[in-house]
Amino acid sequence: MAQPAPFNNGLDSEAEATDLRAFAVDPQPNLRSAFKAPSLRNVAVRLPFMHDGRFDTLREVVNHYSEGVQDHPDLGPGLRGPNGQPARLNLSETDAQALVAFLETLTDEAFLQDPRFSDPFQP
């Protein structure tokens, strides 16, 4: 079964040229832009954000998808509008704040504080 082609999430292509991750391990052309996307659980405490750590806050991530999606030949289909151009969310200030607030609700404080899930390598 063929693997789906990875897609670009609208970041500039400069980082893609130097950050090869999966391609460096397994040099197949369809892995040049491949990165595994983590779940959204505890996303607010897993900074920096994006595969290359370019954003320090959830708000910067939301701003990227709202206003900063760049065109790329491998731009993900959900990030391309019907006219073929990059689709941006164009969120209002209120909507951007609400989205960040929602993402912060996905933080499980009980899980984060539970010693059973602490770093086993810390003294």
Query: pLDDT by residue (tens digit) across 28-67?
Result: 766 665 667 789 999 999 999 988 889 999 999 999 999 9
Which residue(s) pair with 75 in the sheet? Answer: 8
Q: Read off the pLDDT band of 23 (50, 70, 90).
A: low
pLDDT for the residue 1: 45
pLDDT for the residue 75: 84
Helices (H), the chain: 13-18, 21-25, 58-63, 93-104, 109-113
Domain positions in the chain: 13-115
Enumerate helices (H) and strands (E) in the chain, giving the number of each.
5, 0
pLDDT for the residue 14: 58
Q: Could you tell me the sign of the dihedral formed by the alpha carbons of 48, 54, 59, 62, in that order?
A: negative
Lowest mean pLDDT among 23-27, 52-56, 57-61, 102-106: 23-27
Which residue(s) pair with 80 in the sheet? Answer: 86
